[in-house]
Structure 1
Amino acid sequence: MTISVLPLDTPGLGDRTYLAHDGEVALVVDPQRDYDRVLGIAEAAGVRITHVFESHIHNDYVTGGLELAREVGAQYLLNADDPVSFERTGVSDGDVVEVGDRMRVRVLLTPGHTHTHLSFALSDRDEPVAVFTGGSLLFGSTGRPDLLGPDHTQTLAHAQWHSARRLAAELPDETAVYPTHGFGSFCSATQSGGTASTIGQEKLANPALTTDEARYVEDLLAGLDAYPAYYAHMGPANSAGPSEADLSLPSVADPAELRRRIEAGEWVVDLRSRTAFAAGHVGGTVNFGLDGQFVTYLAWLMPWGTPVTLLGETAEDVAEAQRELVRVGIDRPAAMSTGTPEAWAGGEPLRSYRTATFADLATTLAGDPRTAVLDVRRNQERAESFIEGSVHIPIHEVLDRLDEVPAGEVWVHCAGGYRAGVVAALLDAHGVDVVAIDDSFDNAGPAGLPLTTATLQEISA
């Protein structure tokens, strides 16, 4: 039997975990906190996990590696130079780890995403098969170098170029590339949209392998934009040794308790779609639908440590949201409720607001050019094209800049509708009269809206 590599996607965070096996034993790379999914894959393949590898101290999620290794009795392997508070097997550049009779893993130091970042080159005996690149070489991109702070960014950016070059030089072109980041994660410098690649393919298209060092670093740094605020809590949690996740459902709240929690300033989160929320919701609740990057934006925007209550149509919806929350260290929701907004409101009238398209906005602006338009996209998106006269407040800054939101009716848009729905709900909770544009920004120009561009410097100023 040949060695099999099985990816496990976590779309809400834009990451992948990998399980590789030879039919008998398996290794795991970069498992998420809810590692029961990994155990399910191993059980289905009929293999025993003997080694768990961590490419780096993660900044975008809480690892499940330590607890997974403990549960199955596997070795837990991290860079020997990583300062952690628990026992593990420290590995260093050049080490070779034998996994079963056939799998050999060569440890490669590939700094850039972090100073101690490792990649793992997997061979079937002496035949190279794959390389697990973590946050180093991604599909058409690399991991971002700025998550450790501005004092490290330049050094890590240059290191990232050299690390990518090392992987390309030391591994055969046919070696499959398996990154952890790059599928929507903010740990990626850019998003390529690829789903598979090899060293040879990356040599043809990856900027780290097709441009010189100075140009790569310049372009890399120029393309960096904001990343989620909750990242600041992930590294310390991973270095301390995360505990096992508790996925048991929280207690059920009645309408009176929901109202008390809202009035106390807690976050009561409606998990339904943005269109369902706009049509009718409990006043003061916010909306982070499960149909988008739910946990990324909720954990980014909610003040860290704020009690959160989950409202879902079903208990399964609440369980899905809770699973996503534990991945970023939000362990226990304060409460939950299932059903309909009418039931949650306890007889109080529901709130609602309109949803619209860019064509609707064009018609409205034609009748009243003073109509307020709020663009909540990131700076990089805004620089490419924006609606003339619109106000720009990136989604992650809205709550800190409420005094800049125009008075009167405000039309909110993003690139596809999800973030506009999030912000519309937040503004509605603060008493703003909103219209959520649930449409692709690609339709703005064809709708007749006047578009223009600006430099990043102008937008950031």
Structure 2
Amino acid sequence: MDVISFRTPGLGDQTYLLTHEGKGVLVDPQRDLDRFLRAAAERDVELRFVLETHLHNDYVSGAEQAALRTGAELVLPAAAAAAYRHTPAFHLEDIDGGAGLTLRPVHTPGHTPEHTSYLVLIDGEPAALFSGGSLLVASAGRPDLLGPERARSLARLQHISLRRLAGLPPGLGLYPTHGEGSFCTATGAGRLTSTIGAECADNPMLAIDDPEKFADTLLAAPMPIPAFYRYMGPANTLGVPPMPPVQVPELDHAPEGTHVVDIRPRQAQSRGMLPGSIGIELDDDFGSWTGWLLPYAEPLTLVAEPGQDVAEAVTQLAQIGVDTVQGVVRDLGADATQRYELLELDAFVERLAQPDAQLLDVRMPNEREQGRVAGAIERFLADLFTQGVPVELDPERPVLVACGSGRRASIAAGLLAREGYRPIVLTGAGVPEAAAELRARDAA
């Protein structure tokens, strides 16, 4: 038996391909299927099963299409009640795959009500556990994605589910779907895979015996929920069409009525962007931020550098069900009049020390305990798009913007520049470093 993992860093998720004697089990696949099916073909593996642990909130599933393309048996939690044909997985009712391969569904509600983990048996012996969004490495799946009304009830169920899984053999390999970087984790997840024994020894969530205290811990400081999550569950329940091929026509100008997203590096954006555009430089989490900050699935035009490959941007958007890219503009010419300034730490702190300085901190609320600057105006990046620019900011003075590294601050700067402000972005460092530098200067 072998388990191959496929990491999607921008979503903090993993897909798995388990192989055994020429048969394959694909677990929680995303919509861009070719990377998974290619790996199976390279290993001369026939896909026997496609498994879903739950109705995903953070991406559009490729499970139904993987089963249709390969003839594999699609297995979903029985309580998911998806609208398309599948085999329902019932608690502890084994599913025989032949050649000594058996799937044992384990109902593990908490992250979602229908959530099901899958214990894989080889010749009757436990060989691997795919825990989806239930037991994670050093963490647990968050229970509040379906709304605050159900969060505490689901948290109590998560407490039971984690202990159910903790009773499995200590040497059993643990393969969760959600991991570091995922907004589906309740606390900061660590390594990508683990064992049951390692989690029993080190996972802080398994150290909490009382279900109410467990719920308090899970719900104490929840991370924000990306805006596009509300569209994922219904899509995954009703079925998703195949991902369209990546074909992005070259455009001379952005069509009227489209949202313009500049994917160039922030250094290029700062020198000039198309008026009205938003800069989200292409990185692993480009799709997540675009889906979060802009109206979901409305037409998009990308702005890219000459020769910049836009296929990755289009793929990331497709993973969350956004198939609305109209084309790419590469030559901005004299139209690139929307600008902001980039400063490294020393120059930024020097500017921050000036009497007219005003600082906008766009980090998440749970990051602020890592370090704060007195007098800073704090508004999370996503809230900046929904609630608008804070009224406390003076448009007649430059606005210094910082986050943890400069990525989110540069996105905020595009919005500020669009609204007529003069942004100055801290790049290569964040608010904690700026705060420490200010303290050091005051002490000198």
**Which of residues 72, 75, 82 in structure 1 aligns to 2:73?**
75
1:271 equivalent in structure 2: 263
Shift of 1:145: 0.2
Superposition TM-score, scaled by structure 1 size: 0.91
- Provide the residue aligned with 1:134 in structure 2: 132
Alpha-carbon separation, structure 2, partners of 1:304 and 1:287: 17
- Secondary structure of residue in 2 paired with 1:193: coil
Which of 222, 225, 234 matches 2:223? 225
Q: Is the 8 A contact 1:26 1:99 kept in 2?
A: no
Q: Which residue of structure 2 lines up, in the alignment, with residue 210 of structure 1?
A: 207
**1:296-445 alignment, distance < 5 Å:** 296-313=288-305, 317-338=309-330, 343-345=331-333, 347-368=334-355, 370-404=356-390, 406-407=393-394, 408-441=397-430, 442-445=432-435
Q: CA deviation at 1:336?
A: 1.8
Structure 1 range deviating more: 94-103 or 217-226:
94-103
Distance 1:349 1:377 in 2: 28
Find the aligned partners of 1:225 and 1:337 in 2 and give their Cα distance: 35
The correspondence of residues 92-103 of structure 1 with structure 2, limited to 5 A, is 92-103=90-101
Which segment is superposed worse, 230-239 or 268-277?
A: 268-277
Could you say which residue in structure 1 is the equivalent of 2:145? 147
Whether contact under 8 Å (1:139, 1:197) holds in the other structure is yes
- In structure 2, do the counterparts of structure 1 residues 211 and 251 end up closer, same or farther at CA, with 3 Å as the change threshold? same
Partner SS for 2:321: coil
C-alpha deviation, 1:412, in angstroms: 0.7
Residue 314 to residue 101, structure 1, CA distance change in 2 (3 Å): farther
Distance in 1 (CA, whole Å) between partners of 2:374 and 2:95 is 58
Match of 1:90 in 2: 88
Local SS of the residue matching 1:306: coil
1:349 to 1:11, Cα distance in 2 relative to 1, 3 A: closer
| CA distance in structure 2 between the partners assigned to 1:245 and 1:6 by the alignment | 23
Render the CA deviation track for 1:146-191: whole Å, top value 9, x for unaligned.
111122101100111110100011x110111101012211011122
Answer with 384-393 or 353-362: which moved more.
Answer: 353-362
Structure 2 residue aligned with 1:446: 436
Structure 1 CA distance, aligned partners of 2:417 and 2:338?
9
Aligned to 1:190: 187
Is the Cα contact below 8 Å between 2:55 and 2:233 reproduced in 1? yes
Q: Deviations over 1:243-270 (max 9, x none)?
A: 1010231332213xx2x53xx4x31111
Question: How many angstroms apart in 2 are the aligned matches of 1:60 and 1:436?
Answer: 29
**d(CA) in 2 for partners of 1:7 and 1:349?**
42
Equivalent pair of 1:283/1:351 in contact (CA under 8 Å): yes
2:372–2:435 Cα contact (<8 Å) kept: no
User: What is the rounded CA distance, in whole Å, between the counterparts of 1:196 and 1:85 in structure 2?
Assistant: 32
Q: CA deviation at 1:103?
A: 2.0
The aligned counterpart of 1:458 is: none
Q: Percent identity?
A: 36
- What corresponds to 1:457 in structure 2? none
> Residues 276-301 of structure 1, C-alpha deviation per residue, up to 9 Å, x if partnerless?
21133323222111224111111001
Give the counterpart letter for 2:314 in structure 1: Q
Q: List aligned pairs for 1:450-461, cutoff 5 A.
A: none
Instruction: Give the Cα separation in 2 of the matches to 1:273 and 1:20.
Output: 38
CA distance in 2, matches of 1:317, 1:251: 12
Determine the structure 2 residue equivalent to 1:248: 246
| Matched letter for residue 247 of structure 1 | P
User: Structure 2-normalised TM-score?
Assistant: 0.94
Report if the CA contact (8 A) 1:246-1:332 is conserved: no
Q: Aligned partners of 1:422 and 1:147: how far apart in 2?
A: 25
Q: Post-superposition shift, 1:129? A: 1.6
Deviation, 1:215, is 2.1
Residue 22 (structure 2) pairs with residue 24 (structure 1): yes
The C-alpha deviation readout for 1:364-406, integer Å capped at 9, x for no partner, is 23332x3110000111112443111000110111023334151
Amino acid at match of 2:332: W
On the 8 A contact 2:3/2:17 being kept in 1, the answer is yes
**Counterparts of 2:183 and 2:439, CA distance in 1:** 30
Q: Secondary structure at the match of 2:227?
A: coil
Per-residue CA distance 1:126-148 (angstroms, 9 max, x = gap): 22121000000011001110111
Inter-partner Cα distance in structure 1 for 2:79 and 2:387: 41
CA distance in structure 2 between the aligned counterparts of 1:118 and 1:80, rounded to whole angstroms: 9
Change (3 A) 1:349 1:147: closer
| Partner AA of 2:434 in structure 1 | A
Note the residue ranges of structure 2 that are not aligned, 5 or more in a row.
Answer: none
RMSD: 1.8
Q: Which amino acid aligns with 1:101?
A: A
- Cα gap change, 1:294/1:247 in structure 2, threshold over 3 Å: closer, same or farther? same
CA contact under 8 A between 2:176 and 2:192: conserved in structure 1? Answer: no
Residue matched to 1:454: none
CA drift of 1:426 comes to: 1.8
State how many pairs are aligned: 436
Q: For the Cα contact (< 8 Å) 1:141–1:190, is it kept in 2?
A: yes
Gaps of 5+ in 1: 452-461
Contact 1:311 1:318 in 2 (8 A): no
For 1:80 and 1:314, locate their aligned partners in 2 and report how far apart those are by CA, in whole Å.
49
How far apart are residue 357 of structure 1 and its match?
A: 2.9
Structure 1 letter corresponding to 2:172: T
